Amino acid sequence: MLATIQYNSKKLQIDLSKPLDISIPMRASKSNVNAWYVDEPKIEPVRFDDWVGSVKEGADVNFNNILFNPHAHGTHTECVGHITKEFHSINKRLKNFFFLAEVITVAPEKKGDDFVISKKQIQTALGNKKRDAVVLRTLPNTKDKKSRHYSNTNPPYLLEEVATYLVSKDVNHLLIDLPSVDKEKDEGKLLCHNAFWNTKGNIRLDATITEFIYVSNKIKDGCYVLNLQIAPFENDATPSKPILYAILE
């Protein structure tokens, strides 16, 4: 099923029957991807006295409660409300859902005790391309990213200069395969978050950060149409399902 997307003066054609899902599903399991020192998600049937919301246990329907944290338990998209005193809802701030995106792959570099991604690396990968969104895949890119527990592991992160550079390039949507764009323990500085949302100036209210994606090695670096799907939570962040579509020649 072919569709045409209008981007500036260009018409881009994509095949809707060939989505490239770069989200990580959420499971009620200890093997679910995890960060920020919380337990695994819980998906459990509702219980009222002798009634259990499970067909397996005699009910007519499956009727589950779900307990999770969007920042800790899988692919999620967040807005500036993640770090401001004022409440900002991702459901209100993300108003468009199709973007021109560039997939790039970067190997974090050793810096002291950390592994970091620098402006120079992103500059080299992006070149002169102008994109609404950047999808960042880090190396090594193994499937255990879908189930890794990141708490107290000091994962790789982006230097503040990366966010400043992306803002200068008018990149409004940043997607990464890490639990955060910032260092796990940084004394609350959140340098990259603050720089990307420009919290010390004119706040970029419509800009988003999506963390905990997984970009298969089968997906090549290059330009795609991104469909950034979110669940309609009135919260700073929500589970999301980013989908890439190859642009047809």
The predicted structure's pLDDT at residue 221 = 98
As a whole number, mean pLDDT of residues 94-105 equals 97
How many separate domains does the chain show? 1
Provide CB contacts within 8 A for 112, sequence distance 6+. Answer: none
> What CATH number corresponds to the domain at position 95?
3.50.30.50
Task: List, for residues 133-159, the tens digit of each pLDDT value.
Answer: 999 999 999 999 999 999 999 999 999
Is 44 contained in some domain? no
Tokens linked to 151: 């708490």
Domain that holds residue 144: 15-25+71-246
User: How far is Cα 73 from Cα 123, in angstroms, rounded to an integer?
Assistant: 30
Q: What letter represents residue 180's amino acid?
A: S
Does residue 92 belong to any structural domain of this protein? yes
* Structure confidence by residue, pLDDT tens digits, 159-201: 999 999 999 999 999 999 999 999 999 999 999 999 999 999 9
Instruction: Give the DSSP letter string of 46-115.
Output: -EETTEES-GGGT-SS--EEEE--TTTSS-EEE-GGGS-SS---HHHH----EEEEEEEEE--EEETTEE
Six-digit token string for 8? 């500036």
- The residue-averaged pLDDT of 37-46 equals 98
Is residue 87 very low, low, confident or very high in pLDDT (cuts 50, 70, 90)?
Answer: very high
